[in-house]
Structure 1
Amino acid sequence: MNSPVVAEKTGVNVIMLKVLAALLPAVAAYVYFFGPAILVSITLASVAALATEAAVLHLRRYPLRVYLTDGSALVTAWLLALSIPPLAPWWLVVVGTLFAILIAKHLYGGLGNNLFNPAMVGFAALMISFPSHMTHWTAPDVLAHSHWSFSQQMDFMFGGISPADSKLDAITMATPLDTLKTQLHLERTVVDIQSSPIFSMLSGKGTEIIALFYLLGGLYLWQQRIISWHIPASFLAAMFGTAGLFYLFDPAHYASPLFHLFAGGTMLGAFFIATDYVTSPTTPLGKLIFGAGIGVSAYIIRVLGGYPDGVAFAVLFLNSAVPLIDAYTQPRVFGHAGKWFDGRKE
């Protein structure tokens, strides 16, 4: 082969398409354990994201076809939809998506210019503004005290109408992380709490399988060289190590490291959210620092903070530090030991 050899760059649309494909197994598991309502949330978020993107691009006089087909808005929509309760009212999904695309993305100049992960900004805005709506997580079918048909779920999502013979509490429950946090405040031990039916071998019934599929999807992205290993590995290692230290100190009041790896948004955050190209560091060392910072921060928020799952807030916190991390982790330019001026080292 004649030189020079230039590798063909992978387009943004191909990268985003592979990210969406990597999420599909987890979405399928979500539907299996918790019902098809999540598909409606994903559809609502996708439509809202594309509509908002098109409107802003039109106002900015950008070519619609180029930017609407790059897939970035859809990835933001899917990640946000997978982060909020599947039975959330339709307007909650739309408001969160609009906030993510309009404020977190285009207010900073569009794709490539945003400082914070748009999906996590949307999630944080909803969590702070509508906390009660963000706690109605659907129980797995095997644990629900009642069963709503798909049409009944749609009546609730779009009209707020519950079946006459069943209340919302009959098909929803607190998440394993929320249950653990609440019950620990009541002076119960971890072993006693995890004897509840909502817990399984690793974390929660159904949720641990979804987390496993996020892990497999993330490994697919790594195998395809869409992401590098640095952020997920340092994220999970820091989460595991921090949780392990607390667990060794007092196993009666701190859950095992494996529980924290497969509970909440750990796997989704490690492989699909923290690895966002725009809002993460560019240097290998910077990625390791960034991932470890998220892992430690997320655990501290979970255990000592006011929120049961701190992944989103940890990601946003470390997003703000990315410029500083990049500035202090730049490798030395090959052949240069320092700056020189007029033959003298500065």
Structure 2
Amino acid sequence: MESLNVTEFLYEHLNEFTNGFSEENFVSNFQFGKVYRGKMPPGIYGKEAKDVMVKIWDASNNRLYRVYHPVENRVRLAEEVVLLKHRTMNSHPNLVKLVGFCWQNDKLGAVYDLDPLHTLRDLIPKGCFDWLKRMKVAVEFARVLAFFHAPKKCFLPYGPYLIRNVDATHIMLDKDYNTKLFDFSMVSGGMFPDRNKVRLHALRGYTSGCIGYVDTCFAYTGGWCEKNDVYAFGVILVGLIAKRVFNTDTDMDTNIPFVDDWALSLYEKQPKFSLIDKGLAWVSSVYKKKQSKFSLVDQSLEADPAFNSSDGHKLTKLAMWCLKYFPRDRPTMKQVIKCLLDLHVVKIHASTLGLNTKLDHAFSVV
């Protein structure tokens, strides 16, 4: 597929699409700004009428200044346009499709061909977000990360990418609950400069991921790798199965723990064992069985007709694997996909979930 042609809009167009960036059309904050629903009328630069999503980079966003040092958003917009126009990206079903952008003085924005439902962060606690929909998101988002982490041969002449700001807020779902990753403000690698080495003394002066999704090990090493994205996926997975989310808009000044801290604290309370001698082998067996039954799945989801208890244990084990302290101990995203495709719910409901298990299994072992 050829590179996508996109339109450069005026800021007044974005204002028109969103009815003056009205509260009614506001969807969510994201790491560097705000997202709105919009309607693009016919005739603008020959475009057809369509529902769109509008993203605005906003340096005055309160969420930005709580932790992050503001940096040049123009670079973020320019790189996103280049990324989403590229032939390797514009055909991926779980990445937003770029319609156009705005670069008018300090007013920066992007327009996507998407009629958004809600962000994953907003949907995670809701009862209408059932087990099948949650599993659909887990598999689709795992495929997105595996796609970006793919070997160099998949992106020739470029190498793999890191997202680095994985966050449930940056995953939008459409009206059919299809997963759409829509922010790439911290992408590194591939056709862009390698920003994966960060000096420890400089961490406070640079954006270092999203609150609640950055692993503790990174804070000590200051070096990015694909396993940082894997850790963030683990946080997403815990949120999906436990109906938990840390909302940086409302929870920053409370005692609500981060999702990973909550999950790890529960896991640490599980019985531990060590083999002192062969005479205690039976104790090891008992504790292993107890650990294998450990589940973080919310009770309301356990009552879902599509839920299988064995999946709850497997997903909890997978999430804990992703949340391992040392990056080398975490799985790759290909291994994550393989685990997800072995779930009972995926095998039974593959067609309902819109999954090609044969294709995905083949991809997971490439």
TM-score, with structure 1 as normaliser:
0.29
**Which has a greater percent of strand?**
2
Structure number with the bigger relative contact order (C-alpha 8 A, sep ≥ 6) is 1
